[in-house]
Amino acid sequence: MQNQLSCEQVTALLSFYVEGKLSNKLTEYVKIHLDNCPECMEKFIQLKHMLTKFVNNQEPEDIESPYITKQYETFKSNLSAYIDNELNNLDSIKIKKIAISNPLARQDLENIYTFKKLLHSSFERTKTELKNDYSKSTVNNLQHENDEQKNIDAFFKLTAIFFIMITAIVAGIITILYF
Ligand SMILES: [Zn+2]
HSE toward the beta carbon, residue 82, CA cutoff 13 A: 22
Domain ranges of the chain: 1-61
How far is ligand 1, taken at its centre, from the CA of residue 178, in Å? 103
> Average pLDDT, stretch 154-160?
82
How far is ligand 1, taken at its centre, from the CA of residue 34, in Å? 7
Mean per-residue pLDDT of the chain: 79
How far is ligand 1, taken at its centre, from the CA of residue 14, in Å? 11
Residue 167 has pLDDT above 80, yes or no: yes
The two counts, helices (H) then strands (E), for the chain are 6, 0
What is the reported pLDDT for 1? 47
C-alpha dihedral, 145 to 147 to 151 to 153, nearest 10°? 70
What is the reported pLDDT for 161? 86
Q: Which residue has the higher pLDDT, 13 or 3?
A: 13
DSSP per residue, 16-60:
HHHTT-S-HHHHHHHHHHHHH-HHHHHHHHHHHHHHHHHHH--PP
How far is ligand 1, taken at its centre, from the CA of residue 57, in Å? 28
> Average pLDDT, stretch 130-139?
63
Instruction: Give the Cα separation of 78 and 23 in Å (integer).
Output: 35
How far is ligand 1, taken at its centre, from the CA of residue 9, in Å? 9
What is the reported pLDDT for 50? 81
Give the per-residue SS3 of 74-134. Answer: HHHHHHHHHHCCCCCHHHHHHHHHHHHHCHHHHHHHHHHHHHHHHHHHHHHHHHHHHHHHH
pLDDT tens digit sequence for 48-97: 888 777 766 555 555 566 777 888 888 888 888 887 788 899 999 998 88
How far is ligand 1, taken at its centre, from the CA of residue 45, in Å? 13
How far is ligand 1, taken at its centre, from the CA of residue 24, in Å? 19
C-alpha dihedral, 72 to 78 to 80 to 85, nearest 10°? -130
Closest of 31, 33, 27, 32 to residue 6, by C-alpha = 33
